[in-house]
Structure 1
């Protein structure tokens, strides 16, 4: 199994995209010539990837890792990312953490386009007041 890391700056933020290749089964076992075997990929998306469009192939995994933060008695928390079309991108795992982080994994099941969305909200400590701000996060995924 190989791992490739690449980073590309978006403004002052740094977007980290991890692509992991794994072989599910030998191509010969499926009646294909070995040189035509396709490796499944995993694309990892983070806070900095909001607004991006990505392309995936059938069988690929899309992993979302959103990081919450805490400042001045306020914790900014993400909800669990969701897919606009579970037939295209089926969520296979999802969770939130007390520190505000959220993550989810989606399987590219069928061709088409779906968006993955999440929202970040404020959770105040006792005696604090949150601003009325909800921050959206959205990535469009085209499955081919």
Structure 2
């Protein structure tokens, strides 16, 4: 007489043989962490972050928003922020506005350190004179 086989679903058969439930998630080997992708972060920098530093990870977005101002017939305007190393921080967008504001968006590309810089200058109304002052702005970004 021939052998009779019962049909058992593969996952259940594996669970019966190994003693591990068929729905168990794979475990990491001792001392190893499961590789979990970290979602990209968004970092916003403003006038008050001048001379500061931040840490970012590859893939993170960094937005710079600098606010100009106007007083006594003078408009203090920002230049478009730039990166000292485009291999570390790549500029993806940048602009200036008539009111003196400037903004830029960067993407952290590779490990390293880069500095984001901009300058504020005076733009006078007709009949006004600006002081000969240039105000630097910078933030150091370390990408790990």
The TM-score, its normalising length taken from structure 2, stands at: 0.76
Where do 5+ consecutive residues of structure 2 fail to align? 1-32
User: What do residues 71-96 of structure 1 show as CA deviations (whole Å, max 9, x unaligned)?
Assistant: 00000000000000000000000000
The offset of 1:37, in angstroms, is 2.2
What is residue 41 of structure 2 aligned with on the other side? Answer: 41
SS in 1 for 2:41: strand
Higher strand share: 1
4+ residue stretches of structure 1 with deviation over 4 A?
Answer: none
RMSD, matched Cα:
1.3
- 2:121 aligned partner: 121
1:25 maps to none
Alignment size in residue pairs? 112
Structure 1: gaps (5+ residues): 1-32
Q: Which residue of 1 aligns with 2:14?
A: none
TM-score normalised over the length of structure 1: 0.76
Query: Aligned to 1:65, what secondary structure does the other structure show?
Result: strand
